[in-house]
Amino acid sequence: MEIRTTGRPRETNARIIPRPETARHPHKKATNKLGKGHIAGRRLLSALKIIGKLGSFVLLVVFMLSVFVYAYTSDKFNLRTITFHGCKEVDSRHLESIVRQNFPANILRIDLSRLKNQLEKEPWVKRVEIRRILPSGLIIYVQERTPAAIIEFHSELMLADRDGIMLDRYDPKYGRLDVPVFKGLLGEDAENYRLYQEENSARVRQGLEMLSEIESGSPEEARKISEVDISDRENLKVLLVDDTAEVLLGEKDYLKRFHTLMENMKQYRDLKEQYMEIESIDLRFDGNIIYRPRRTSAGHKSKT
C-alpha cells in the first residue's frame, strides 16, 4: 500500500521577520534604564547642595556663637571709662557709682534703656543719652534741669524746675533766682512732696504760667509779686512786695485782672489808711474790685 504526501516547496531564501512587539521591547527597556540613572544623579546632586548649604549655615552659627560667648565673657569688654558731658550741678561721680554698682561689668551686657531710666530718676537730671565706645567705654550726655521756682516748706526754701520737680534746698551757690516764693503745695516735706508729684507739678506749672502771662504784659508789674499761693487751682492768690493783703486772681485773665489792681493802687492806699489793714483784694469779678478789711467782716466794694 502506498501513501503519498504532497508538501509545499521549501524556500531556501526565506527571511524571518519578528513581530513588531518583539522587535521594540528590548529598545524600550534600555531607554528606561538610562532615564532612571539620570534622575537619580540629579537627586543626589541636589541633596549634596542642600547638605553643603546646611553645613555652611551650621558653621556660621557656631562661629557667631563663639564670637558672642567671647564678647560677653572676655575681660577686654569690661567697663573701664565713663565720660560725662553736661554735668554742672549734678555730681558726675555719683552718676558713675550708679552705673558701676547696679549694672554688669561687661559693657555689652549693660541694658542702656534701663540705665537711662535709672539716671533720669536723679533730681537734677532731665534727660540723658548714652553711647557705647567699644571695647570698654561709655559716653553719657546729661541735660540738667533748670531752677524756675522757689517752694516754701515750713519756712524751708526748696528749688524746683518748671515741671515742679524738686531739685535741692535753695542756696546762693545756684545763683540769684528772682522769682516769687510758691506756697500751697502738697506734702509736709520734700519726700512727701514727691508722693503727690503729679498734682504738685500741675500746680507749679499753673503758677508759672500765671506769672509769665503777667510778665508778658508788664515785667515791671510782675516784679511787684512776692508770693504765690497755689493751694487752690481755681483761685490763685498772690502777695505784693511789702504788703500782707491776699490778691485773688481766680483761674484765668491774670494779666487783665492784675493790671486792673495796678491802675487803682491810689484807691487801695487810701483804703489802707482808712481801714489800717486790708485782708484781701478780690479781682475775680469783671469791672469790680472787692476790698475786705481785716478788722471788719463787711467788705468795701468799689467799681472800676
How far does CA 97 lie from the centroid of its chain? 23
Say if 76-144 and 149-303 have the same CATH topology.
no
Q: Which CATH architecture has domain 149-303?
A: 3-Layer(aba) Sandwich (3.40)
What is the band of 143 on the pLDDT scale with cuts at 50, 70, 90? very high
- Indicate yes or no: pTM above 0.75: no
How is the chain split into domains, by residue range?
76-144, 149-303
Measure the CA–CA gap between 236 and 257, rounded to whole angstroms: 12
Residues 6+ apart with CB under 8 A from 80: 136, 137
CA distance to 32, 37, 50, per residue, from 45 (Å): 20, 12, 9
Burial classification of residue 182, based on how many CB atoms lie within 10 Å of its CB (0-12 exposed, 13-18 middle, 19 or more buried): buried
Q: Which CATH architecture has domain 76-144?
A: Roll (3.10)
Query: Average model confidence (pLDDT) for the chain?
Result: 84
What is the band of 86 on the pLDDT scale with cuts at 50, 70, 90? very high
Q: What integer is the mean pLDDT of 132-144?
A: 95
Comparing 4-13, 185-194, 212-221, which segment has the lowest mean pLDDT?
4-13
Q: What percent of the chain has pLDDT over 70?
A: 79
How far does CA 81 lie from the centroid of its chain? 26
pLDDT above 70 (res 196): yes
What is the band of 1 on the pLDDT scale with cuts at 50, 70, 90? very low
What is the band of 60 on the pLDDT scale with cuts at 50, 70, 90? low
Measure the CA–CA gap between 233 and 199, rounded to whole angstroms: 10
Give φ, ψ of 300 to 5 degrees: -100, 120
